[in-house]
Structure 1
């Protein structure tokens, strides 16, 4: 039996964020056992805490969707760090250092919330006409409704598109079959209010049609839209509205230009799991 926690991420209100299943002390498990448990939980991500292989890291994390393993994902990073700390984990230095498929990811606590440093993008730059046409078809919108687009892939394969406003994002009704294995993020700006943007994430290729609240996508969007001046250096993003969630992603760029992506975390389930 292994210790288990399910952590709700990116909402200060109970049951309105994005849950991640976290298995502690996962060494000794085979890859197929990890994948099978992720399919069984049927959450967007399930994670497994392991001893680090790097002397700089506090722990190693493997991240699985129902469709396979990811080198990095945001809400699992925050939720797993929360679970690790709650179980008695103590960082070696001032910051928590997570080892995962993209390398080492730093986390800190800011205003009571955990936040991770956005990793470097594996792919960035403009999106080709063929891919844009596929995205537009998959979102069931006209190509002219996409104001801008960028590859913002930091692991899951994200391509992000900017629509006219937040209302346009919330009105999207995608065709999962047309999107296929594309991981598509959709963003629109609010004219005023608590949140600067509304975000949606469509990742059918990973076994999840729409992810409720997505740290990796928000990290890539911030690197893109803060980087080009569309968004301010610090803001709050809303995500999950279309799914009845109340996700809030807190983004801030530090003086060195590092994007920090944070949110509230709370444990909703504790127990043990037999694998």
Structure 2
């Protein structure tokens, strides 16, 4: 059966310089096995399937698969799928798009030429055991004392956040992916003397256990990091994170805390638009 399909580059306005997501826009009738097989075939960090909503108030339901399995929530697939849904005629019932997914209902707002999702609550937070910090430091090729702070920032994916002393330290990491194993590790470091329009932080994400050694640009991780950095490390209410630099991407994640919710936004662009036989 021919189904509407798009491949969207997320967190960038420049095609092929962001993080791609494959979106099947009329996935009704596909089995779990069909979805998992197609996600393995695309071999992208995530592939999504848009379905009719099952709860009141949602505009659509989204299922999100990595090559290794299903996720309850992920950020760049949320924004990329919302972009594809709007581009193909989707109209929200209210002022914001409401996405149903495994993590519940996710609000998505139009913010100029960007879409932004409301960061979901953390399902795991708090400090990371010293033994785990030591193990992760060794896998990243740094000393334990190079880690300024570390905390769980899980909001679907089981992210742990590591704060290093500088953005350059983040860029210099050469991780041992085998040693990282099934850990889902996000690393962040601040830039100094930031001018208007330049990023405040550099972020990298390592998820080898999900078949994604380094994710180019990661919405869920940035959402978790934003909640942590705002609460404990005096991050600005609005800031920009760069991600994907070492992968020759120019990802930009826009974080805005409006006092009620933290919004994670960015631009998206459709690179492939057509149909797929599924």
Q: Is the 8 A contact 2:14 2:269 kept in 1?
A: no
Report the Cα offset of residue 255 of structure 1.
Answer: 2.4
Residues 87-132 of structure 1: CA distance to partner in whole angstroms, max 9, x if unpaired?
1111011110000000000000112210000000110011011211
Question: TM-score if structure 2 supplies the norm length?
Answer: 0.97
Task: Determine if the alignment matches structure 1 residue 216 to structure 2 residue 216.
Answer: no
Query: Unaligned stretches of 5+ in structure 2?
Result: none
Equivalent of 1:243 in 241, 244, 247: 247
Name the counterpart of 2:112: 111
Which runs of no fewer than 5 residues in structure 1 stay unpaired? none
Map of 1:195 onto structure 2: 199
**CA distance, structure 1, for counterparts of residue 54 and residue 165 of structure 2:** 45
Q: Which residue matches 2:56?
A: 55
- Picking from 259, 263, 267, the partner of 1:260 is 263
Mapped to 1, the partners of 2:258 and 2:95 lie a distance apart of 16
CA distance in 2, matches of 1:84, 1:273: 16
Name the structure 2 match of 1:269: 272
- Tell me how far apart the structure 2 counterparts of residues 22 and 121 of structure 1 sit (CA, whole Å): 26
Distance 1:35 1:108 in 2: 29
Counterpart in the other structure of 2:167: 166
Describe the SS at the equivalent of 1:99: strand
1:42 aligns with 2:43: yes
- Find the aligned partners of 2:118 and 2:241 in 1 and give their Cα distance: 16
Question: Is 2:77 the counterpart of 1:73?
Answer: no
Secondary structure at the aligned position of 1:169 is classed as helix
TM-score by length of 1: 0.98
Question: What secondary structure is seen at the aligned counterpart in 2 of 1:4?
Answer: strand
Backbone CA RMSD of aligned residues: 0.8
Secondary structure of the residue that 2:45 maps to in structure 1?
coil
Aligned mates of 1:28, 1:142 — CA distance in 2: 50
Question: 2: CA distance between counterparts of 1:233 and 1:213?
Answer: 21
Count of residue pairs the alignment pairs up: 274
Q: C-alpha displacement at 1:230, in angstroms?
A: 2.7
Q: For residues 148 and 247 of structure 1, what CA distance do their matches in structure 2 show?
A: 24
- What is the deviation of 1:251? 0.3
Query: 2:157 matched to which residue of 1?
Result: 156
Equivalent residue in structure 2 for 1:225, among 218, 224, 229: 229
